[in-house]
């Protein structure tokens, strides 16, 4: 059962054309159609894939976790896709597919944005019996980020205690969960502040959800909806408006039986 209270903050785009974004989406869509495995994607999934990868290529985000399709031989398929994209567009020169073997997850990463990543702008929450703020970034997360920057690969022994908050950092979330046991049920029936970053253009039929995440409601003043919304605007507004697009930051309160990490 969910209780919802909506608020909305809109960051207006400039009048500049969004041709660079549209061109990037077209290039990706064409490459997907050429790839023997990925050409089987339905039209809506192909559109979602193209949009999400375009935001990485154009530097709007550091990384995208591929969740729109399950692929056998992920490393081969996605490397072939990137090779095809690099052959026709310089936008993909600094984009890399990085495979996390422990969870079998694929990330497309903008290496230039990765170099600028730090742990100052993310808040860590330990999910115990009562969610609590963690004052300092976990040492293992710091080490894993340094390893990723140096090698463009994840450490081989990455466990959930490190991989979950590291992924949150890469995906652009201002909040990261730290868990010791992924088999537990987290935040059951706990009110959550849910945030959604939506991107729109007059040329598009529908807006695109770039980021969606949650954190426990009322945990602290630094995690108030006002603070988190401002942080998201500061992080993404200029990047989005530079492409002639519009960013909407949506917030609502929701209560779920279980939260997926």
Q: Which domain holds residue 243?
A: 7-255
Q: How confident is the model at residue 64 (pLDDT cuts 50, 70, 90)?
A: very high
Highest mean pLDDT among 2-16, 91-105, 153-167, 210-224: 91-105
115 belongs to a structural domain: yes
- The answer to whether position 2 is within a domain reads no
Residue 1 lies in a domain: no
CA angle, 168 then 178 then 118, to 5°: 45
242 pLDDT higher than 60: yes
- The runs of H, that is alpha helices, within the chain are 19-34, 43-57, 74-86, 111-115, 139-151, 160-171, 225-241
Is 251 inside any structural domain? yes
d(C-alpha 17, C-alpha 108), whole Å: 26
Residue 206 has what pLDDT? 92
Q: Is residue 228 part of a domain?
A: yes
Question: Is 216 within a domain?
Answer: yes
Instruction: Indicate whether 260 belongs to any domain.
Output: no
In whole angstroms, what is the distance from residue 249 CA to residue 147 CA? 32
Whether residue 129 is contained in a domain is answered as: yes
Average pLDDT over residues 82-106: 95
Number of domains within the chain: 1
Q: What is the pLDDT of residues 181-240, one digit of tens each?
A: 654 556 677 788 999 999 999 889 899 999 999 888 877 666 889 999 999 999 999 999
């Amino acid at each position: 059962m969910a209780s919802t209270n909506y608020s909305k903050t809109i960051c207006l785009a400039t009048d500049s054309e969004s041709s660079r974004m549209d061109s990037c989406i077209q290039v990706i869509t064409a490459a997907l159609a050429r790839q023997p495995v990925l050409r089987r994607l339905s039209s809506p999934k192909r559109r979602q894939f193209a949009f999400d990868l375009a935001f990485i290529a154009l530097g709007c985000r550091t990384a995208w976790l591929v969740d729109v399709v399950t692929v056998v031989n992920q490393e081969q398929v996605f490397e072939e896709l990137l090779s095809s994209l690099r052959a026709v567009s310089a936008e993909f020169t600094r984009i890399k597919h990085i495979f996390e073997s422990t969870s079998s997850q694929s990330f497309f990463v903008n290496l230039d944005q990765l170099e600028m990543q730090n742990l100052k702008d993310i808040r860590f929450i330990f999910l115990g019996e009562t969610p609590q703020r963690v004052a300092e970034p976990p040492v293992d997360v710091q080490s894993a980020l340094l390893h990723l920057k140096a090698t463009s690969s994840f450490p081989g022994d990455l466990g959930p205690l490190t991989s979950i908050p590291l992924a949150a950092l890469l995906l652009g979330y201002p909040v990261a969960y730290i868990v010791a046991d992924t088999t537990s049920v987290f935040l059951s029936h706990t009110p959550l502040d849910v945030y959604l970053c939506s991107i729109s253009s007059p040329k598009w039929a529908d807006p695109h959800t770039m980021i969606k995440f949650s954190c426990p409601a009322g945990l602290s003043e630094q995690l108030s909806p006002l603070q988190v919304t401002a942080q998201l605007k500061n992080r993404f507004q200029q990047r989005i408006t530079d492409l002639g697009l519009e960013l909407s930051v949506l917030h609502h309160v929701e209560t779920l039986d279980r939260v997926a990490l």
